[in-house]
Structures are given as structure tokens and as C-alpha cells.
Chain A
Amino acid sequence: MEKNKTSQDSIKILNRRSFIIIILGIFFSLVVAVRLFSLQILNFGFYKKKSLENKVSVKVTPPLRGDIYDSNKNLLAGNTSFYEFVIYKNLNKNYLKEIKKINSLIGLNLNIEEIFKKLKKFNPYSAYTISKASWAQIVEFEKNKFLFTSIKIIESKKRFYPYKNLSQIIGYVGSSSDSSYLYPKGIFHIEKGYEKHLKGSPGKIFNEVNSKGKIVREISIENPIKGNDLHLTINLELQNYNQSLLPISNKGSIVIINRLDGSILSMNSNPTFDAQIFEDKDNDKINELLNDSSKPLFNRAFSGFYPPGSVFKPIPALLGLQKNLINETTEVVCKGHSSIDDRNYYCWKKRGHGRVNLKKAIRESCDVYFYELAKKTNINDLANLATNLGLNQIYNLGLSNAQKGLVPDKKWKRAFLDEGWYLGETLITCIGQGYNLTSPLQLANLYSALLNGGKYPQPRINKNTEIEYLGKPFENHFQKILIDSLKAAVQEPTGTAFKLNNLHPDFVKIGGKTGTSQVVRIKEEEREDDLYKTKEIEDRFKDHSVFVGYAPLDNPKYIASVIIENGGSGSSVAAPIAHKALNFAHSLNV
């Protein structure tokens, strides 16, 4: 009985102890439940996001870049296919052997050690480019295809520039610096300026990947959207023709614009380059180009700045008329020089022009007439008018290295040279020398402004932009005087460019103004003198030959602005080139 009692007590202890453990067990079950609640209910969003990040990889597919066309829908920049040898590490463990094999078999000239080094860290499921593949190499590879399991040929797109003569307008593309978006990015000229328009938007392939980065399945695809095409105002034929007009031995530029709507029809510059070498990654040629001292990348049409020379003269003339400093009949006697204090300012014609009125002054490019006018001219008024007529401006055409140039005034001189303005400087500014710096495109616009009576269409290169007008109109009467004078400079026997009529009597009749952009100052008196070019002077000291003209004579549409560096006088070099260019444009009727 006693023993039985202790046994009963012992069982009570056992049951009590088990009760404690059950309580503990339920308590820990609750802890687990609370923890699960926290993970799955409270922090569900956090872990769901992590889970999605774990499993989705996004592959960007580059969009096709928009094409660029000329005004006649000729393709100037497009996309073309090219082929590459790529390797997928996951397809063969002995992929290194395959690289050696393809190198010797097809003769790819690879830097094998460097490839090995880079491949080591490369995702085994992605394509690694070994080398470009030429047609001959592809044929050779296809014959021996059974030897390779990890090496494949893939097709990619690159930019295609069929016309070398357009490179200085179209520019080129390069690889984007953003390494995850390996598609072309415009880095020069139109390709850069119209990057947003041309680039399109990349597609995305969302893949489900496993922990090793292997694609398990495709979740969704967003197709890439091709960039917008761009239609330029440039005329391919005119551009090509004008390039052939530029003398190979001289740097220079020809710009043709349509003064009725502001369209830029051609912009040539010599020397030029071939943008295709950047797409072909032809490093030798690229280095040669970048180190070329004649700067072929530089389009002189809008980045070349020169003193305009006598083609500037219509501006002081207009200002003189507007300010009543002169009128149609005001005469000056040119004895070959003008003077302020003890200093002489020479006319290019040593003997002098005799009695000169405004029309004669422009026709025969008399400097003394403008010196005398300059003595009464306020330089700030001159700068304002020049700006109003299209100088001193960037036109925002999307072209690289475009600059404003320089139309000097008192404020500018104080700010940049920390000096006051001298009257003598007004004299040489009025004949387009001194501090004046203009580009051929700006000069073309200046004449567009004159021919349009002050309010002129803003130059444009994108055909699909609206025509916008710049400038303030000036008096019709003054315009008539100026145009009459410009006409006389070519059409009247004493005009500086009259001989154009003898050279090409069958060509369209033009008006215009010759100019000589001075390189060395001491030869001031020799400007525009045809004897000059026979003198033995080193080419680099020769003046730049300038001409701005328009055609047709009675109803002007085309304006040509030509500069030939170190070409000599405007009448002998630039004017005939401009005449040919205008004639061709006129015959094309672009």
C-alpha cells in the first residue's frame, strides 16, 4: 500500500513535468507562428521584391537608330548589318581550346591571353565578342563548323554612312558611355545634335534566371522602337558637286542656302573626312584623322571664322543710309588712301578710284569711301545692325563646334582687351577687317537678310521644322540701292567680279560681292589686286579669298558663300567657284 502511494506520487510528478514541457512546446510554437506572421504577412512586400529581383534579369535590346535623308530622300546615314564571332562559355568546358583553334584555323590574329583574362569573369550564358567576322572568315568558319560548339556568329547593326562628303554635317556615333546600354550614341554634328530624335527607345527582354544566371524562360518582351528618321534640307547632289569645286590644295568652304525659306542646301568644307572609319573602328585611320594638322573634322562652313573682308561693306553702307550719314549721291574722292591724324589708311587701289558714290564704292570695292563713312559711324550702331542682319549668332542647327564669331564694339573691347575704342579701328572694321570674325554660313545669312529686306528666315537644316523669321525690316528704298550695287559688282564692266560673265557667259546671271580676308596686315594696299597672286609669297601668308553671291539676279533664291583660305583675291578664286555652285543649284532647281 505504501509503495503504491509513492508510485501514485511519482506519476503525478511525471504528469506535471510533461505539462511544463507541453506549455513550453506551445509557447515555442507561438514564437514560430509570430515569426512566420512577421515574415509572410508584415514583411511580405519586402521579401516579394527581393524574390522578384532574384529571379528577373533584364536584357536591353538596342533600338535601330533613325535614318537620315537628304531633301530628295537619298539615304545619308542608315543602319547596316555586320557579323561577329562570339563565344558562350557554358556551351563547352574547353572553350579556351576552341578560341585557339579558331585563331589558327581562320587567322583572326587574336590577343588570346587578353581574351582569356576577360572571359574568366564573363557571364557564361552571355555572348562574348571575340572578333569581327568578314565574309571570307564566315565562309571558312561554316566549313569547319563541326569543330566549334561554343563559338557562334551573330549579326549586329552598325551605322552606315554612304557619302563621305556629308560626314562634316552628319557627324558620327560612338558607343554610349553607359555600359549597360551598348548602342550607338551620337557624338558629333547632326548625329549628336539630333540624338533624342534619332536614338529611339531600347527594348527590354525580361528573363527569369536561376541562381547561376541561366535563363529559364522569357517572361515578357518590350520591342525596341526605332528612332525617328530625319530629313535634312541638304541636297546630296549639290553637296557632292560643291565638294568637287573646292581646290584640293586649299582649305575652304562653300555654303549654299535658300533665302526664301532659310534651308541650308549644302555646306562643304575642305579637307573633309569619312565618318565610316569610326563605325568600322579603323583605329589607324582614326588616329591619323585626329592628329591631322589640317583639322578635317572641322567644318569651316560654320566653325571656320575669318575676317569677312569687303563682303561686310553693305552693313556700314546700310547704317550710313539709315543714319543719314550718306545718301545715294554722296560722293567721296578716293586718292588711294584716307588718313586720321598722321596715320594713312590705304585703298586696295593705289591710284585711287577718283570720285566715288555708294554704288561705285560697292561695285569697285573702294575702301576710302568706307573709311570716310566710318569716320562718322558709331561702332556700337554698326555692331547692332550686323547682329540684326544675322552675324554674331549661333543658329542652333544641332551642329558641333558652332560659334558666334565676333562683331566688335566698345563694350567687347573693354571687356576682352581692356582698352578703349580707337576711331582707326572703326575704319578697318567697316571694310571687314580688324576684329571682325564671321563664318561662311553667317555671311550667307547676312546676304539673305539684305535680300529679304532685313526680316529673313532663320537658317534650318531639318526639313520638318517651321520657317521662323529673324531680324527687323529696313527701308525698301535702301534695300534697292544695296541690291543695285551688288548687281553692279558682277554685271557692270568696272565691277570687281565682272569677269565671271566672260568666264561662263552661259551660266545663270548673279549678283554679289567679292572680299579678301586679310591674313597679313601690311599688305592692306594690295588687296583685290590681281597682280598680287603672281607675287612669290608663301601660301600661308596669302589672303583668304571670299565671295558671297546670289542667283537668279532678278528674283534671288540661292545664296552662295565661299571662302578659299590663302586663295588670294576674292574675284579670282572664290567668285568663279560661287558662280559654278549657284549655277548648279539653279539648274537643279532645289
Chain B
Amino acid sequence: MFKDIKSLLEINWIYIFLLLIIFWIGEINLYSAADGNLEPWALNQFKRFIIFLPIFFFIIMLQPKFIFNISELLLILIVLGLIGTLFFGYIGMGAKRWIRIGGFNLQVSEFAKIALVLFMAKYFHKLNSEKTIGFIKALIPLIISFTLFFLVAIQPDLGTAVIILILGLIAIFYAGINLIYPIISLIGIALASPFLWTLLKPYQQNRIMIFLNPDLDPLGKGYHIIQSKIAIGSGGQNGNGFLGGSQSSLDFLPEKETDFVFAIFSEQFGFTGSMIVLGLFLIFFLIPILKSFKLSQVFNKLILFVLSFKIFFEFLINISMTIGLVPVVGVALPFMSYGGSSLLSNLIICALLINFMSITEKKRMFS
């Protein structure tokens, strides 16, 4: 089940170092979001980090083979967890998104992303024989992706559901689906969008309308976007300095510790700081992927690629949301937004990435 203790020497310490830097920036940012106080966010987030470290190293030390073996089981547990959330979930912000396990409120949908990727990796690994994958072979991954999407969407948490679906589709794309199918689907979605629009809840339609024109409702739903843009824009080239952000310290920015945490950062550290964070996340994204090029086992490659993509994708979506490039969809900024489930799931992902980056492939690794 576990690797040899010596394998710790193979760990990509640069990657861990980057992770710590990003988390440290996040901590400083939460400290400033609370006007220079460790309470209520920075200290709490740090405690969580410490509590999660054993899990992190536990996963780093797992044998890839073991992960390979339990991937279907994990998916089944997640599906049960999502169904359980619907029935026994804890209601917050108008949705049932959390389930209470051992004193923690867990957002099962965050872990569904991991389980889905692990399942896909194993599925396509087993298919490892053909040039491109036809529609029939992609059917099971598609059904599973849509099932998870559906279970999360009805919570309702459309933002997370869309991310899950996109991760599933990216995995299928990466695994080598015939390009005809993605192209056909994109055209299909474009044609069906008027119909899809009517399926959205009024508040979701509202968010999209307000995204397109925040001034429709400057004090209501457009307020988030307007205030966030003011915070970021007023940061200027070098920012207002550490703890110098008036938008955040004066509470003009709602949800500043979660979805809009980047605005707090950017107001203080400006364009320069924003570019540094963007660069860090880009490197953080590319390190596992460069390793994936060197590997040949589909299971390893797919895990490294799609999970690394997940973190970077959420980073891009979150920032785009705060600068008004995409509608407000409720996606956390990895390692910087305050929140336990997001932190835990991203730590697990990083642990998996570190684990798979350190392996040396042997033939018949997963048979």
C-alpha cells in the first residue's frame, strides 16, 4: 500500500516549495482581508493546513498501484456522498452543499472532481490500445461526468458542477477522443443555448445578465463585480501596499475572503503582484505537465495532466470572475480562498501530483 520511505528523496521539492509560497501568499492575504488580524480567517486556515498535512503526506506515500485499485470504489463513495448531501445536507446560502462528517462540513462536490479524474485515468489506461477513441468507448466516462454534474447542479451549485463536467470532458479529450465529437458538441451547444437559457434558474440568468452589464443593478447583484473591479483597478501598478486596501478594509467588497480574495490581493499589490501570482500559478501548472510528457503510462499521464489543469483552471476562472471576464459562478481561488473543503481537496490533488511525479515507470505497473 505504501511506498518505500526512501522514495521521499525522489519528491519534487521545488513543487512543494511553490505550493508553500502560494499558500503563504494566501495566508498574508487573509490576514489583510481581516484588516491585519489573524482572526477570523488567516489563523483558522493555517490550522486546517496543519491538520491536513498528515493526509497530504499519507497520499504522497501511497503506492500508485493502490490508488489505481481503489479508483472505482472512490467514485462510488463520492456518488453516495453526493446523494447523501441532497438528503442530509446542511443548508447554506440557499443550497445544500455541505455534509457534516466528524466535525467538518465537507463539500463532497470538491472531492468528486478528484474521484472523477482517478476513475477516468484508470478507464482510459485500460483502453490503452487504440489511436483515437470512438464515441462508444467514451460513453461510460460521459455518463459518469454528466451524472456527477447533475448531482451537483441540483444542490444547486452550478459553478462546481460545470467545473466537474469540464474536467470530465478535458480528460476524455486528453485521452484521445476523435476530434469530430468535441467539434459536433460545441456546435450543438451553440445551437441549443437559447433552450439551455430557459433551463437556468432566474438567479442564474440574472447573474449572466448582470455579468454582461453590471450597471443593471449596481447596488444589488452587480455590486460584487463593480466593487471588485474598483478594488483591482485602484491597485494600479504597484498597489496600495500591504494592508493599504481601502475597498477591502472598509467592507465595500463582499465575500472578500472567499470568491473575491484576489481583489483584496490585487488592490494591495497591484498589477505587479497580480502578474507574480499569475506566473507562480502558471509554473505550478506546468511542472506536473512537463513530467507527464516523460511518462508513458496513461493512468500516470492523465492524473498529472488533468489534476494540474484543475488547479490552474479554477485559478483562471476565479480571477476572470473578479475582473469581470466571466460571470460570478462561485469558484474558489486555490490555496488563497478561505475554506476547508477547497483547501483539503487541492492539497490532496497536490499530494497526488507529487506522488505521481516521483514515480519511475515499470512495465505492467498496474496489471
A588 within 8 Å of B by Cβ?
no
Interface flag for A181 (CB, 8 Å): no
Residue B149 interfacial (CB < 8 Å): no
Contact: A17 with B235, CB < 8 Å? no
Query: Distance (Å) between the CB of B5 and the closest chain A CB?
Result: 31
**A21-B309, A39-B229, A51-B234 known; A10+B323 contact, CB < 8 A:** no
CB distance from B111 to the nearest CB of A (A): 23
A325 at the interface (CB under 8 A from B): no
- Are B266 and A36 in contact, CB atoms less than 8 angstroms apart? yes
Check if A208 is an interface residue, CB within 8 A of chain B: yes
A358 to chain B, nearest CB (A): 85
Please choose the segment from A114-122, A210-218, A343-351 that sits at the chain B interface, where 4 or more of its residues have CB less than 8 A away: A210-218
The closest CB in chain A to the CB of B313 belongs to A25
Q: Pick 15 A–B contacts, CB within 8 A, sort by A.
A: A8-B296, A10-B129, A10-B131, A14-B305, A17-B173, A22-B289, A28-B320, A29-B282, A35-B320, A40-B232, A43-B233, A44-B233, A44-B234, A47-B229, A48-B233
B316 at the interface (CB under 8 A from A): yes
A16-33 interface (Cβ within 8 A of B):
17-18, 21-22, 25-26, 28-29, 31-33
- In this complex, what residue of B is CB-closest to A7? B128
Residues in chain B near residue A33, CB distance under 8 A: 275, 278
- Which residues of A have CB within 8 Å of B249? 216
**B301 surroundings in chain A (CB, below 8 A):** 11, 14, 18
Query: Are B325 and A35 neighbours in the complex by a CB distance under 8 Å?
Result: yes
Give CA–CA (A168, B207) in the complex, Å.
Answer: 65
The residues of B that contact A477 with a CB separation of less than 8 Å are: none
Chain A residues with CB below 8 A from B251, complex form: 210-212
Tell me, yes or no, whether B292 is within 8 Å of chain A by CB: yes
Chain B residues whose CB sits within 8 angstroms of the CB of A8 once the complex forms? 296
Q: How far is the CA of A36 from the CA of B325 in the complex (A)?
A: 10
The B271-312 residues at the A interface (CB cut-off 8 A) are 271, 274-275, 278, 282, 285-286, 289, 292-293, 296, 298, 301-302, 305, 309, 312
**Chain A residues, Cβ within 8 Å of B175:** 14, 17
If the complex has contacts A6-B130, A11-B296, are A54 and B275 also in contact, measured as CB distance less than 8 A?
A: no
A36/B323 in contact, CB under 8 A: yes
Q: What 3 A-B pairs come out closest when comparing CB atoms?
A: A47-B233, A51-B234, A40-B271
Q: Which of A21, A50, A208 contacts B230 (CB 8 A)?
A: A50
B234 and A32 contact, CB distance less than 8 A: no
CB of B246 within 8 A of CB of A208, answer yes
Q: Does B231 contact A (CB under 8 A)?
A: yes
Question: Quick one: closest B residue to A11, CB to CB?
Answer: B296
Q: Report the Cα distance A29→B305, complex, angstroms.
A: 17
For window 230-282 of B, CB contacts with A under 8 Å fall at 230-237, 246-247, 249-252, 266, 270-271, 274-275, 278, 282
How many pairs of A and B residues are in contact by the CB < 8 Å rule?
Answer: 141
Could you tell me how many residues of chain A have their Cβ less than 8 Å away from some Cβ of chain B?
Answer: 42
* In contact, A40 and B270 (Cβ under 8 angstroms): yes
Rounded to whole Å, the gap between the CB of B103 and the closest CB of chain A is: 34
The reply to whether A41 and B292 form a contact with Cβ atoms under 8 Å apart is: no
Does B250 lie within 8 Å of A40, measured CB to CB? Answer: no
Q: How far is the CA of A15 from the CA of B289 in the complex (A)?
A: 9
- A37 CB-CB contact with B under 8 Å: yes
Contact check: which of A14, A18, A32, A43 meets B298 at CB < 8 Å? Answer: A14
Q: Is A152 an interface residue (CB 8 A)?
A: no
A340 on interface, CB distance cutoff 8 Å: no
User: Quick one: CB contact mask for B128-144 with A, threshold 8 Å, 1 for yes?
Assistant: 11111000000000000
Instruction: List residues of chain A with CB within 8 A of the CB of B305.
Output: 14, 18, 21
Assuming the A-B contacts A7-B129, A14-B301, are A211 and B250 also in contact, with contact meaning beta carbons closer than 8 angstroms in the complex? yes
When distances are taken between beta carbons in the complex, the residues of chain B under 8 Å from A22 are 286, 289
Contacting pair B296 A40 (CB below 8 A): no
Query: Which of A3, A32, A54 lies in contact with B129, CB distance below 8 A?
Result: A3
**Interface status of A209 (Cβ within 8 A of chain B):** yes
Complex Cα distance A410/B236, Å? Answer: 76
Residue of B nearest to A40 (CB): B271
B275 and A47 contacting across the interface, CB-CB below 8 Å = no
Interface residues of B in 311-344 (CB under 8 A from A): 312-313, 316, 319-320, 323-325
Given the interface pairs A22-B286, A44-B233, the reply to whether A10 lies near B298 with Cβ below 8 Å is yes
